[in-house]
Each structure stands twice: as structure tokens, then as C-alpha cells.
């Protein structure tokens, strides 16, 4: 089974492409997401072809912090995934439909172990400065995030929030312009373990770039992280996780090819 983060791991916005080469040498790109009738996210054409081969041979599980609505904007190559994980593990989609039993199980766990979303979101908004706060949102009634003007974000604000949130069972992650506050038990790895149980998968391969992917990578049999993102910036690693040096959309292609080799379908990928 292959469980992979999407944004800045397999798919990339224009700002995240990181094509450090002359335009004439840049790889051909395939748009895999549109938003408000505009192209938003891309893979290289070679990565898309490799993913289509891979998804036809193994159980491929997109595993994202996006909400279901945001995930459904994406059109990945290959067969439609039977399972997809959204909202950082809070939503399990089975053939495109939410699994109500899983959502209820998540809600019970969060209610028993963590402070409420309203309390955490209110604290984030109350202590943020309008000079650098651009947006404040909750996602799927499960977690909170702020969009900020990163250069104006005061040093120490995220650290203070992290300490406050930890006392209430929440984790904080800074990813680009977004500051996420997520309940500790709300993890991608828990949802992936449920899919592995249902499918009978005896090995999980995983990839991700952010601190919210660390638990997923640690729980996998083998993992990969690109040369960019929070994990790379922090120098994070584990014995079974390959730390790539490749950055940007080329890293996405390298990750798909690594999945294919590890899953024994490398011969299918040109």
C-alpha cells in the first residue's frame, strides 16, 4: 500500500515548482487541479505517467491535510483511488464517500483527549496581529489554521502558541504561510492504519514534506521526504526514511519512481 501526502510532495502549485533551470529545459507539466477555472497544481508529465502505472498495480491512498472539498478539486492520473484520507486523518473516503463510522470514532477520541476547537481557534485569532494575519479558518470542524504574512510574523509567536496548545492536547505546525493547530490524536497514520487493516496490506510505503507527515513516515515500513519543506528544514529523518536532496516538482517525480521500485512495478515505469 502506498500512502502519500499531496501538496509539495506529489503535486505542486506554480509558486512551489522550484524549477531552477532555463525555461527551455524545464520538464513538461500536467495540470492536476483547477480552482475557480484557473490551473492551480501540477505534476511533471513523467511523474503523472508513473503514478498512473503505480496506482493500477497497488493500493494508492492520497493522504492529505486538505478538506474533502479541497481534495475533490484534484484529478490525479490513474484509476480513482478506492480510499483517500482528508483533514489530516479526520475524514476517510471510501470510493469517494465519507465513512461515517470513522468520522464518529475520530470525534469521540478528540472529545475525550483534547480541548475543543472553538477554544483553540479563538486563542489563535485573539493573539494574532491584524498586521500579519491574512485569514483565519477552521477545517472540517476538526482543526484550525491561519494564513499569515510570513515576513511580519513575530519571532516567538509560534513557539508560544505551541506551548499553550500542547497543554491542551494540540500540536502546532508552520508550513509556508499557514500556521496549523491540530488535535494530537488527529493523525494521518491512524487513518492509514485503518485502511491497511481493511485491505490487508502487509507493508505501507509513505512520503511527505511537513511536520504533519512525520507520524505517517514513522509508521510506514519505508518512507521518503523531499529536499524541501518543514522536515527538510528541521533536518528530520529516521532510519527507514530516505531524505532526498531533490527539491520542487522534480522531487515529486523522484518519489513516485521510488514508490514504483519499492513496490516492484519499476519495470512498468519508463
Half-sphere exposure of 132 (CA within 13 A, CB side): 17
High-pLDDT (> 70) share of the chain, %: 97
Per-residue confidence (pLDDT) for residue 266, from 0 to 100: 66
How far, CA to CA in Å, does 144 sit from each of 52, 64, 67, 88? Answer: 33, 15, 12, 12
Per-residue confidence (pLDDT) for residue 22, from 0 to 100: 73
b/e string for 63-97 if b means 16 or more Cβ within 10 A? bbbbbbebbeebebbbeebebbbbbbbbbbbeeee
Per-residue confidence (pLDDT) for residue 269, from 0 to 100: 44
268 CB burial (10 A radius; 0-12, 13-18, 19+): middle
* pLDDT (tens digit per residue) in 46-59: 999 999 999 999 99
Average pLDDT over residues 109-137: 98
Per-residue confidence (pLDDT) for residue 21, from 0 to 100: 67
Residue 268 pLDDT > 50, yes or no? no
Average pLDDT over residues 14-33: 85
**C-alpha cell recorded at residue 43:** 505534476
Per-residue confidence (pLDDT) for residue 39, from 0 to 100: 96
Average pLDDT over residues 221-250: 96
Q: Which residues pair with 225 in a beta bridge?
A: 243
Average pLDDT over residues 219-239: 96
Band of the pLDDT at 23, cuts 50, 70, 90?
Answer: confident
Q: Over the chain, what is the mean pLDDT?
A: 95
* pLDDT (tens digit per residue) in 26-37: 899 999 999 999
> Taking CA 77 as the corner, what is the angle to CA 251 and CA 265, rounded to the nearest 5 degrees?
70
Per-residue confidence (pLDDT) for residue 20, from 0 to 100: 66
Residue with cell 518512507: 223
* pLDDT (tens digit per residue) in 131-167: 999 999 999 999 999 999 999 999 999 999 999 999 9
Rounded Cα distance, 47 and 75, in Å: 14
pTM for the full predicted model: 0.93
Instruction: Kindly calculate the radius of gyration of the chain based on its CA atoms and give it in whole angstroms.
Output: 18
Contacts of 104 (CB under 8 A, 6+ apart): none
* pLDDT (tens digit per residue) in 64-94: 999 999 999 999 999 999 999 999 999 999 9
Residue 267 pLDDT > 60, yes or no? no
Residue 221 pLDDT > 60, yes or no? yes
Per-residue confidence (pLDDT) for residue 184, from 0 to 100: 96
Per-residue confidence (pLDDT) for residue 270, from 0 to 100: 45
Phi, psi of 143 (to 5 degrees): -145, 175
Amino acid at each position: 500500500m502506498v500512502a502519500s501526502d499531496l501538496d509539495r510532495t506529489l503535486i505542486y502549485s506554480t509558486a512551489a515548482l522550484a524549477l531552477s533551470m532555463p525555461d527551455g529545459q524545464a520538464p513538461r507539466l500536467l495540470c492536476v487541479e483547477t480552482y475557480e477555472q484557473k490551473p492551480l497544481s501540477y505534476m511533471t508529465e513523467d511523474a503523472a505517467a508513473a503514478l498512473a502505472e503505480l496506482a493500477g498495480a497497488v493500493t494508492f491512498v492520497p493522504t492529505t491535510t486538505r478538506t474533502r472539498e479541497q481534495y475533490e478539486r484534484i484529478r490525479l492520473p490513474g484509476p480513482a483511488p478506492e480510499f483517500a484520507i482528508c483533514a489530516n486523518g479526520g475524514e476517510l473516503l471510501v470510493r469517494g464517500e465519507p465513512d461515517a463510522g470513522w468520522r464518529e470514532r475520530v470525534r469521540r477520541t478528540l472529545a475525550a483527549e483534547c480541548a475543543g476547537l472553538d477554544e483553540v481557534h479563538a486563542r489563535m485569532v485573539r493573539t494574532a496581529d491584524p498586521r500579519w494575519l491574512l485569514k483565519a479558518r477552521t477545517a472540517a470542524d476538526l482543526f484550525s489554521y491561519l494564513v499569515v504574512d510570513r515576513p511580519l510574523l513575530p519571532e516567538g509567536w509560534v513557539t508560544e502558541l505551541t506551548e499553550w496548545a500542547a497543554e491542551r492536547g494540540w500540536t502546532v505546525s508552520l508550513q509556508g504561510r499557514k500556521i496549523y493547530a491540530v488535535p494530537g490524536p488527529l493523525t494521518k497514520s491512524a487513518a492509514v492504519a485503518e485502511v491497511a487493516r481493511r485491505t490487508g496490506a502487509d507493508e505501507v510505503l509513505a512520503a511527505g514534506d511537513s511536520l504533519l507527515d512525520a507520524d505517517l513516515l514513522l509508521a510506514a515500513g519505508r518512507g521518503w521526504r523531499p529536499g524541501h519543506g518543514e522536515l527538510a528544514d528541521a533536518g528530520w529523518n529516521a532510519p527507514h526514511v530516505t531524505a532526498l536532496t531533490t527539491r520542487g516538482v522534480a522531487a515529486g517525480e523522484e518519489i513516485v519512481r521510488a514508490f514504483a521500485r519499492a513496490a516492484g512495478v519499476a519495470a512498468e515505469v519508463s
